[in-house]
Amino acid sequence: MKRIAIGLLSAAVSSSLLLSAGTASAERVALSVRIDNVSPNPVVVKGDDDTRVTIEVRTSEATRVELRLRPVSDQARTQAAEEPRLLHQGDLWRFTTSFDENDFEGRWVAIADAYDKDGKKVTDEVNFSVVHEEAEKADTRIYRFSASPDSVRKGRWVYFTGRLQVDDDRWKGVRGEEVEIYFRKRGSNTWKFVTSPDTGWKGTFRAKARAYSSGEYRAIFDGTDELSESRSRSDRVRVYTRHW
């Protein structure tokens, strides 16, 4: 009787162990999904450059994963990020996409849907943010601006020359940009537009205008998305009337 009892007890214990092991195994292989990382976060978009973003998703027992990126906004129209690209390695699903200046600035949500072979779905989501920043602009200067001659008869021409340059490790000429020239009459506080030459080879610009009053001239570059604004020093011109 003891041997039988011991045998039954052993079977019972073995059955219990098998049942526990089976339950643990079933739990380990259950369908699951988790968004591990959104990098970078926040997503910083500078100027008109694209910013690459990687979203890593971990799963178990998943045969397919879909990722959606959606701005958290009440606005009727928002620009979504481009369709993410996928790299799949075992239980790791790595999605890559990019954001630019047209994408909504603010809070976004990443939503990952994982499916198993039977079509069952589980979902995870995380928030991240998108920030727009102005790109850093290169310094510029207007070099050797000149209005000549220094003294001119009323109604005659004044000639303007100068160079627009950008600081790119060293000062270099900027071609194909517009420079505006302004005049302030002696005794006045108001600058008035005169002309707007374009820069050529080595950033050189040239222009002319008729002189009717004594005063000072200066050149101004308004800047671009990549170049900062700059202005020249003032150059005085005296205008005289011929006496007979």
**CA–CA gap between residue 142 and residue 229 (Å, rounded):** 10
Domains 31-133 and 140-240 belong to one CATH topology? yes
**CA–CA gap between residue 173 and residue 127 (Å, rounded):** 46
**CA–CA gap between residue 87 and residue 76 (Å, rounded):** 32
**CA–CA gap between residue 130 and residue 71 (Å, rounded):** 9
* Closest among 58, 42, 44 to 95, alpha carbons compared: 58
Tens digit of each residue's pLDDT, the chain (244 residues): 333 332 322 222 333 333 333 444 445 579 999 999 999 999 999 888 899 999 999 999 999 999 999 998 776 344 444 566 778 888 999 999 999 988 899 999 999 999 999 999 999 999 999 999 887 889 999 999 999 999 999 999 999 999 999 999 999 999 999 999 999 999 999 999 999 999 999 999 999 999 999 999 999 999 998 899 999 999 999 999 975 4
What is the per-residue pLDDT across 120-148, written as a single tens digit (0 to 9) for each? 999 999 999 999 988 788 999 999 999 99
Q: Where are the domains of the chain?
A: 31-133, 140-240
Superfamily covering domain 31-133: Macroglobulin (MG2) domain (2.60.40.1930)
**CA–CA gap between residue 234 and residue 143 (Å, rounded):** 12
Q: What architecture does CATH give domain 140-240?
A: Sandwich (2.60)
What is the per-residue pLDDT across 55-71, written as a single tens digit (0 to 9) for each? 999 999 999 999 999 99
pLDDT at 4: 31
Residues contacting 3, CB < 8 A, separation 6+: none
